[in-house]
Structure 1
Amino acid sequence: MIVLLTGGGGQLGRCLLDRMPSTWRVAAPAQHELDIVNEQAVQAYVADLRPALIINAAAYTAVDNAEDDVQAVYDVNAHGAESLARAAARSGAGLLHVSTDYVFDGGSDRPYVETDAAMPLNVYGHSKRAGEMAVLQALPQAIVVRSSWLFSEYGNNFVRTMLRLVVNGAEQVQVVDDQLGFPTYAGDLADVLIALAGRMPNVAAGLYHYCGAGNDTTPVSWCEFARAIFDCADRVSPCLQLPVLLPIDTSAYPTAARRPMFSALSCEKLAAVGLTGQQTLPPLLSRTWRVALQRVVCQLLQQQRA
């Protein structure tokens, strides 16, 4: 199967490339090789490659920068996604598109399901919601997977930031303790996308949620996430001097973009699809971010000390 992967240099894209089946012929052009904002270029690239599947992992994810960079974030997250969907529709390719928990306003008192109203609080969330709608309008048979709080051994993410503070000898770290959600290992999300690709077109089109909740029903705060990172670091390298973790309210840590106070996602709809991953791995929907975190912390500490 020929597959076009956009965003192959990001943390999700790199996790996808690590896991893609050897039977897939994968094209993962860099941005200078394929600008998804240029619809004519996308149409030409797809017409030449003739992929059976497009996976769009490309995104503008700098949430705070997006508040002042509106055109650029919409270009990638909305218009670029639409260009790929139009090209897929014209060529007959399937499309898997990745979105975010930040399409919600955080006012729920239980994990969000796919039918809950999307009411973003920030430019990034609005752009991703616009991308979802554009994709499904241009290609109704597309599948859109929302996820949350991605981390991995690649790229810049919250885990890497916390470990950098540890390695650099920070004495105290303040982290917000009133925003709740579920962290997600990008490698697990990659496995979900690959499993979905293997089931297309027998999986109903539309929106799905996937996060690293596993069998846990209680979301965590960013501060609790940080505490778990520090605990893992302590197990990997007991000689490390860990910072004192100071929980703070969102009001004490102002940012350019508003964040939802609660953005936990329910994975029940996806669970009903009955996805299975590689036989050597735990079932996809039972995987927890806590297990993956230990491996990622170990890898990142080795990298930062090299």
Structure 2
Amino acid sequence: MKCLITGGNGQLGRALFETMKTSNEVILLPKEKLDITNEQTVENVFKRYCPEFVFHTAAYTAVDQCEKDQVKAFQVNSIGALNIAKVCKKIGSTMIYISSDYVFDGKNTIPYLETDIPNPQSIYGTSKWLGEELVLKTISESYIVRTSWLYGHGGKNFVNTMARFAVSQKEVKVVSDQIGSPTYVNDLVNVLLQLIDKPYGIYHVSNDGQCSWYQFAKVIYEYVGTDPNLVQPITTKEYGAAAKRPAFSLLNLNKLESNDVLKPRNWKAALEEYFVKERLHD
């Protein structure tokens, strides 16, 4: 199949490309080659390639910075998604839009269903939720995939940062009162490729199981071979981030299984494989 991936500089875009390139025609476009905030540019590029599937992974993901640069957040995450959707509809492409657990307010005590009503608490979360709404109202041939705590090889993410601290034996303070599930980018890619012949709509995808950021960091230190007691707990209030995070953002994965999509493995098993591939863990 012929696929186009936006967000070519990001960890998900790169992972999708590496997985798909051997058996598909794949066009990977970084922001330097595709300004998603310009509808005419999007149309010109898409008409040149005429993809069957468009994986829209491009996003402005600097959560705290979004609070300060609100115009950019909505231009990229909302209007950018709309531009992609409008052009996909025009040329007959199927769209896969990557969204976030931050569309929820974190007040649940059980994992969020796809049918739960979003109530984002940050500009980032609001811009991603608006992106969802604009896509769903524009093109019916689309998938909205919400994921959480994404990490992969290369680039900036929580696992890479904590692993670097662990290697240098650094003591760190990590938030202990936010609960969710990490998502290994390779496992997300596997699910995305299974979804593209399933019914259109919203799907939740993360690795199985749950933890706090603090617990997550301790396991990272363990896998690197560093004393996990160097990781100390801190509350969200003590940490004092600019953007409000959901205290509980675990995603219910049952819709995957009901559509014969293999649910991703437990987050610890995925993290272990990540470190094997990074050659930091035997």
TM range (shorter): over 0.9
Per the alignment, residue 216 of structure 2 pairs with 225
Measured in 1, the distance between the counterparts of 2:232 and 2:26 equals 45
Q: TM-score, normalised by structure 2?
A: 0.95
CA contact (8 A) 1:36 1:76 kept: yes
How far the C-alpha of 1:176 sits from its partner, in A, is: 0.9
Aligned residue pairs, count:
281
Q: Does residue 178 of structure 1 match 2:164?
A: no
Tell me which residue corresponds to 2:72.
Answer: 72
Q: For residues 98-133 of structure 1, what are the alpha-carbon distances to aligned partners after superposition, in whole Å with 9 as ceiling and x for unaligned?
A: 000000000001000011110000000000000000
Following TM superposition, where does structure 1 have runs of at least 4 consecutive aligned residues deviating by more than 6 angstroms?
none
**Superposed displacement of residue 146, structure 1:** 0.2
Is contact 1:181–1:262 with CA below 8 Å preserved after alignment?
Answer: yes
* Distance in 1, Cα, partners of 2:30 & 2:234: 39
Q: 1:157: how far off?
A: 0.7
- Matched letter for residue 29 of structure 1: L
Corresponding residue for residue 278 of structure 1:
none
Q: Percent identity?
A: 39
Q: After superposition, where does 1:60-209 map in structure 2 within 5 Å?
A: 60-170=60-170, 172-197=171-196, 199=197, 203-209=198-204
Confirm or deny that 1:291 pairs with 2:269: yes
Does the alignment pair 1:5 with 2:5? yes
Aligned equivalents of 2:36 and 2:44: distance in 1? Answer: 11
Report the alpha carbon displacement of residue 168 of structure 1 after superposing the two structures with TM: 2.6
Task: Give, in whole Å, the separation in 1 of the partners of 2:91 and 2:272.
Answer: 42
Query: Which ranges of structure 2 fall in alignment gaps of 5 or more residues?
Result: none
Partner in structure 2 of residue 280 of structure 1:
none
Distance 1:286-1:167 versus aligned 2 partners, 3 A rule: closer
**Secondary structure of the structure 2 residue equivalent to 1:5:** strand
Paired residues of 2:222 and 2:228 also in contact (CA < 8 A): no
CA contact (8 A) 1:177 1:247 kept: yes
Structure 2 distance, partners of 1:271, 1:154, is: 30
RMSD of aligned residue pairs (Cα, Å)? 1.6
Q: In structure 1, the residue corresponding to 2:63 is in which secondary structure?
A: coil
Counterpart in the other structure of 1:45: 45
